[in-house]
Amino acid sequence: MKTLPKNGVKQVLIVGGGTAGWLTACFLAKQLGAGADADSVRITLVESREIGIIGVGEGTFPSIRGTLATIGIDEARFIRECNGTFKQGIRFNHWVREPGAEGADHYFHPFSLPSQRPGGPELLPYWLQGAAGPGVAFAAAATMQKTVADASRAPKRPGDPDFTGPLNYAYHFDAGKFAALLCTHAQSLGVQHVQATVERVALDDDGAIGAVHTREAGVLTADLYIDCTGFRAALIGEALGTSFRNINDVLFVDRALAMQVPHERPDAPIASYTIATAHEAGWTWDIGLHQRRGIGYVYSSRHTDDTRAEEILRGYIGKPAEGLNPRQLKLNVGYREQHWVKNCVAVGLSGGFLEPLESSGIGLIETAAYLVSYLFPHDGDFEPVAKVYNEMMKARYERIVDFVKLHYCLTQRRDNAFWIDNADPASIPDTLRDKLAMWRKRAPHRMDFVVDYEMYPPSSWQYVLYGMEYPTALYANARTLPRMEEARKEFATIAQVSQRALADLPDHRAMVEHLLKRG
Ligand code: FAD
């Protein structure tokens, strides 16, 4: 019979101090009241001074606002200390067709949901029937966010309370600065910080983690260990040997080159969306922070080589890249079959990584950290909790794989092997293929999703699907879509309100600078 820790779980050791480690520390400390009294759980985070954090991961999903509010970091402090800006969505350049081909050269994935007046018609089926007018993209017709973001406006006004505004939004930020902010904040919540490198992980007689042996701080033990050691996966992978499901037969990118580039002028407009531009063997991200841009090329090593990749990156950036050297990163694309094994939980890159598109990395950390603190097994009975956690995390990863693949597999690009291979039906998971077959005849509906397993709401799927110009041949007539006139008026109203919003919302840079001054 397995033995439970005698006094329940009283000590947690988090190994790793990147976004995953510190965010988990903050969640746990908030939930469990670290060190506040004798009964509380002691939370320690050990991180290596030499190894350092991955230092990329600068785009987020709107869930981050709830996370910051939960752990108690206010918006102005976050923007100020993390070089932060607002993110209203993602602009996808050249994903549908190659540059120069006839047709739209980009589409937008906004974070705001399609407008839905109480009692009003659901707009998507009417959009599919042309109610928004010819050539108007769904994202541009159904919310004012694209118009606002295209005009460099912020999603909120100076008087709006923290974390709220007329439009849905997330942030861009400096990953290194975010980890530093979380480190200070976690310690203020009672988390102990140890700087030491783990050299060996010892297993106990049950095959669980028994102790970690560090170079500088001796042997550290705990009742529960959280592996946040990044791609190294020192506990869940190296020590426990948990299997890793590689998914590079579905998602091909496995290398990245990253650069930090200055703005052309100190007052240059800052895009309030990530710009994801498709290239011959991958895509570039372009993220505007307050004081610089973060730009990188993620690519498939099976479809190009590093020298050509650097040429593509430099070609995209142009003059500002002169004299700068990119950092190269190798990506393990996939996820653990089990994220919680015995007394060890993987959070962050140690548990898995898909690719930067749609910022699933930090979103998954938020889910994992929330789940660990919500499910926290005070009595040390890990098994039932591990089962729920593993099911939830595996389902989330699987659903994200489908969502990310959706961006690639509908491409009309046939200009090189990367895009041709991405559209090959053999590379599309059955779960996605089945959905696409359904959506040939009807539009995606929230009933197609088990929402607790999904990181992305149904509207995100709709924006991407129709951004990629998927041909849904709706079975529709005046009886199935009786509110055509109302829908037309609704689209016209959204267009008018969008113009008014341009007068109402501040310039993006000005809004960021307002928060910086708030102090
Ligand atoms: P890391 O940042 O690698 O931290 C690992 C920690 O473990 C470090 O503190 C290190 O010192 C410590 N450590 C390792 N070994 C030891 C040891 N032996 N002893 C002691 N300490 C140890 N996510 C998004 O949401 N949005 C994005 O836009 C995005 N872009 C990305 C772009 C790229 C190219 C990549 C690779 C990832 C991107 N991600 C993105 C993912 C995101 O970067 C990560 O999910 C996030 O930074 C969390 O990393 P981590 O904390 O798991 O690992």
**Global ipTM:** 0.99
**Range of 285's domain?**
255-330
DSSP codes joined into one string, 233-302:
-IIIIIIT---EEE-TTT----EEEEEEEE-SSTT----SSEEEEEETTEEEEEEE-SSEEEEEEEE-TT
Q: Is 428 annotated as a binding residue?
A: no
Judgement on whether residues 288 and 338 belong to the same structural domain of the protein: no
The pLDDT tens digits of the residues spanning 126-152 come to 999 999 999 999 999 999 999 999 999
Residues 242 and 342 reside in one and the same domain: yes
Give me the mean pLDDT over the 22-50 stretch: 90
| Locus of tokens 């006004």 | 157
Q: For residue 339, is it left (φ>0), alpha (ψ between -120 and 50) or beta?
A: alpha
Cα–ligand 1 centroid distance for 82 (angstroms):
16
Residue 2: inside a domain: no
pLDDT of residue 304: 98
Please indicate, yes or no, whether residues 232 and 288 belong to a single structural domain of this protein. no
Q: pLDDT digit string (tens) for 37-83?
A: 767 899 999 999 999 999 888 999 999 999 999 999 999 999 999 99
CATH value at residue 70: 3.50.50.60
Distance 139 CA to ligand 1 centre (A): 32
Q: What is the pLDDT of residues 479-519, one digit of tens each?
A: 889 999 999 999 999 999 999 999 999 999 999 999 998 76
DSSP characters over 156-219:
S-TTSPTT--SS--EEE--HHHHHHHHHHHHHHTT-EEEE--EEEEEE-TTSSEEEEEESSS-E
Contacts of 34 (CB under 8 A, 6+ apart): 28, 40, 41, 42, 43, 189, 190, 191
17 is in an annotated binding site: yes
The strand pairing partners of 258, in sequence order, are 296, 327
Using a 6 Å cutoff on CB, does residue 136 contact ligand 1?
A: no
Q: Domain end: 330, 358, 386, which one? A: 330
Binding site annotation covers 198?
yes
In this structure, the answer to whether residues 226 and 359 fall within a common structural domain is yes
Q: 284-287: long-range contacts (C-beta < 8 A, 24 or more apart)?
A: 284/312, 284/313, 284/316, 285/59, 285/356, 286/316, 287/58, 287/59, 287/172
Buried b (16+ CB within 10 A) or exposed e, 24-58: bbbbbbbbbebbeeeeebbbbbbbbeeeebbbbbb
In a shared domain, residues 270 and 326: yes
User: 91 lies in a domain?
Assistant: no
Residue 268 Cα to ligand 1 middle (Å)? 30
CA distances, 261 to each of 58, 276, 317, 516 (Å): 14, 16, 8, 21
Q: Is 394 a catalytic residue?
A: no
- Cα separations in angstroms, 95 against 103, 184, 304, 308, 457: 12, 40, 18, 20, 21
Q: Six-digit token pair at 102?
A: 């006839």
Q: Amino acid identity of 12?
A: V
321 and 341 housed in the same domain: no
Distance CA(489)–CA(26), nearest Å, equals 47
Considering 2, 6, 87, 387, which one is annotated as catalytic? 87
Q: For residues 70 and 33, give the distance between their C-alpha atoms in angstroms, rounded to a whole number.
A: 13
Cα 349 to ligand 1 centroid, rounded to whole Å? 6
Which whole number is the average pLDDT over 182-204? 97
Asked if 59 and 181 sit in the same domain, the reply is: yes
Are 235 and 271 contained in the same domain? Answer: no
- Do 176 and 321 fall within a single domain? no
User: Residue whose CA is closest, atom 43 of ligand 1?
Assistant: 57
Burial (CB count within 10 angstroms: exposed 0-12, middle 13-18, buried 19+), residue 273: buried
Kindly state if the Cβ of 176 falls inside 6 Å of ligand 1: no
For ligand 1, pick from 47, 225, 298, 366 the residue to mutate: most ligand atoms within 8 Å of CB.
47
> Which atom number of ligand 1 is nearest to the Cα of residue 331?
36
Mutate to test the pocket of ligand 1, among 53, 200, 238, 299 (most ligand atoms within 8 A of CB): 53
Q: What angle do CA 392, 396, 399 make, to 5 degrees?
A: 140
Q: Does residue 1 surpass a pLDDT of 50?
A: no
Q: State if residue 348 touches ligand 1 by the CB under 6 angstroms criterion.
A: yes
> Which CA distances in Å does 380 have to 4, 343, 344?
5, 9, 12
- Domains in the chain, number: 2
Do 280 and 339 lie in one domain? The reply is no
Mean pLDDT of the chain: 95
pLDDT band at 398 (very low <50, low <70, confident <90, very high): very high
Q: Is residue 149 part of a domain?
A: no
342 lies in a domain? yes
Q: Tell me if 163 is assigned to some domain.
A: no
Counting every residue written for the chain, the total comes to 519
> 10 Å Cβ neighbour count for 371?
21
Tell me: is residue 165 an annotated ligand-binding position.
Answer: no
Does 177 share its domain with 49? yes
Residue 104 lies in a domain: no
